């Protein structure tokens, strides 16, 4: 994995984060919102190799920690996304090449988004934060996953194409 790709992917993730914070979070989705950034990060993590999943999980998490609205310790998302990257890296072979079936891929991304939020809530609880009621949080996570399942197919081709552009000729 080249340094140039790490740089390019980080910039790409930051641009998605900017879109999430300035546009997507303005939309009043019923019940709960949809996080384009988490979904895009899950797509990137799922397409990377073992090292890439963990490195981009960490970088993606640090970018999420920059959120103005975040009232959580800096580094919490980095921890959660590093763990997510690790889970992606060790389970990739056992799941198989799910990227060839778009519906399965979208389902996988939705479940992974929900799982990352569950990890975030668990880590937050362990760190002594007030996370709200468990049923409320489960409902928010479920609805977030549902929105991800419905909306991410619109963005998936773009994210995959952008990631392909960022690969160096040797990596292609």
Partner 1 sequence: MAKGGGNRSRLLLVLLLVSSLFLITLDLRGVNLASGIRGTVASVFSPVEKLFSNLFSPIGNFAGDLRNLGQSNEKIDDLTKEIDQLKSKEILDEDTIGQLSQLRNVLDLAARGNYKVVAAKVINRGSSATFKETITIDIGSSSGISKNMTVISDGGLVGVVKSVSSSSSTVLLMSDPTFKIGVRIAGTQSIGVLSGQGGNTYLLQLLDATGEIKVGDKLVARGSEGGRPFVPGVPVGSVIEVQSNASSITQNADVEASANLNRIGIVAVVVSPPKSDPRDSLIPKPNPTVTVYVTPTPTPSPSN
Contact indicator for 29, 147 with CB cutoff of 8 Å: yes
Residue 31, classed as helix, strand or coil, is coil
Closer to partner 1 by Cβ: residue 19 or 167: 19
Closer to partner 1 by Cβ: residue 100 or 130: 130
| Residue 122 beta carbon to partner 1: minimum distance, rounded to whole angstroms | 12
| Residue 100 beta carbon to partner 1: minimum distance, rounded to whole angstroms | 25
* Positions in the binding site for partner 1 (CB under 8 A): 18, 20-23, 25-30, 32-35, 37-38, 50-51, 54-55, 57-58, 61-62, 64-76, 78-79, 82-83, 86, 89, 117, 120-121, 124, 127, 130-133, 136-137, 140, 144
What is the spatial distance between Cα 30 and Cα 167, in angstroms, rounded to a whole number?
Answer: 37
Contact indicator for 45, 82 with CB cutoff of 8 Å: no
Give the residue among 48, 29, 20 at the shortest CA–CA distance from 171.
48
| Residue 104 beta carbon to partner 1: minimum distance, rounded to whole angstroms | 24
Closer to partner 1 by Cβ: residue 57 or 106: 57
Taking the CB of residue 108, how many other CB atoms lie within 10 A of it? 18
């Amino acid at each position: 994995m080249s340094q140039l790709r790490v740089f390019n992917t980080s910039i790409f993730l930051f641009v998605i984060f900017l879109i999430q914070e300035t546009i997507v979070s303005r939309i009043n989705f019923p019940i709960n919102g949809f996080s384009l950034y988490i979904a895009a990060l899950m797509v990137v993590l799922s397409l990377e190799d073992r090292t890439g999943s963990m490195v981009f999980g960490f970088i993606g998490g640090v970018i999420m920690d920059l959120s103005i609205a975040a009232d959580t310790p800096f580094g919490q998302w980095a921890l959660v996304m590093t763990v997510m990257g690790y889970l992606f890296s060790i389970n990739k072979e056992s799941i198989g090449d799910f990227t060839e079936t778009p519906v399965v891929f979208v389902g996988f991304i939705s479940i992974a988004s929900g799982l990352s939020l569950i990890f975030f809530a668990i880590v937050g609880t362990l760190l002594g934060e007030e996370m709200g009621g468990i049923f409320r949080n489960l409902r928010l996570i479920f609805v977030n996953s549902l929105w991800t399942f419905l909306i991410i197919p619109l963005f998936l081709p773009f994210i995959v194409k952008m990631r392909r552009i960022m690969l160096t000729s040797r990596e292609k």
